[in-house]
Amino acid sequence: MTRAVDKSGDWKNRLYNLGFELFNSGKRFEAHEEWEAIWLDEPKGHPNRLFLQGLIQVAAAFHRVDTNFLRAAYRLFRSSRRKLIPYSPGYKGVNVASLIPLLETWIDRLGSLNRGDAPSHADYFPMALGGRGWNEATREPDASPEGLSTFKAFEEYSSDREVRSVCPKCGDALAVNGRRRAPAEDVESVWRVACPRGCVERAFAGAGA
């Protein structure tokens, strides 16, 4: 799926802010398209990519709720939470620290449903995303060699790919909670990225952990 994007002027800021307007007016699918257009243009390995993936998955999760695919919504909420955790307390105008507990409430509610349950939308609380400002100064994740390599490993794990990053000190393969690949069903609330020799270790934790 491709669409023509007007890349004149400050187009990323324009699309980014439009995404929040669309999201907050209930147009979740359209919001995800705006953010995806920015994501496609960000260089591989840049922290903006995982952040946008997280936001896109929040929009996609709500789109699944709206269309009553609740198991898919549940998985997307879990996955979005994991992707956004490294950006707490805030990133590009989004208050991530307050967003994570809202995502966790959705995860708890959807997780307690049985297969085939069809609760009405009235059971769910509405959620607005308070964010705008692509150019807002943001605290980038830790840019030290240890910070960059552990973030990269977490990003690889969070994107359901094999962890390929190595320890910046000894060159051994890094692992997340002792694994090189995320399990199909995400049941973790703390992700400890570490070198098997103990040279580096970083923990990424959810607000409820």
The footprint of Zn ion (CB under 5 A) covers 167, 169-170, 172, 195, 197, 199
Min. distance of Cβ 200 from Zn ion in angstroms?
6
Sign of the CA dihedral running 191, 83, 86, 173: positive
Q: How far is the CB of 150 from Zn ion (least distance, A)?
A: 11
Decide whether 14 or 169 has the Cβ nearer to Zn ion: 169
Comparison of 169 and 180: residue with beta carbon closer to Zn ion: 169
How many other C-beta atoms lie within 10 A of the C-beta of residue 185?
8
How many Å apart are CA 55 and CA 19, to the nearest integer? 10
Rounded to the nearest whole angstrom, what is the least distance from the CB of residue 209 to Zn ion in the complex?
Answer: 25
Write down the least CB distance from residue 85 to Zn ion, Å: 23
DSSP-based three-state secondary structure for 186: coil
CB nearer Zn ion, residue 148 or residue 199: 199
Residue linked to tokens 């990519």: 49
- Closer by beta carbon to Zn ion, 170 or else 209: 170
The answer, yes or no, to whether the previous bond of 89 is cis (omega within 30 of 0) is: yes
Give the chain's radius of gyration (CA, Å): 17
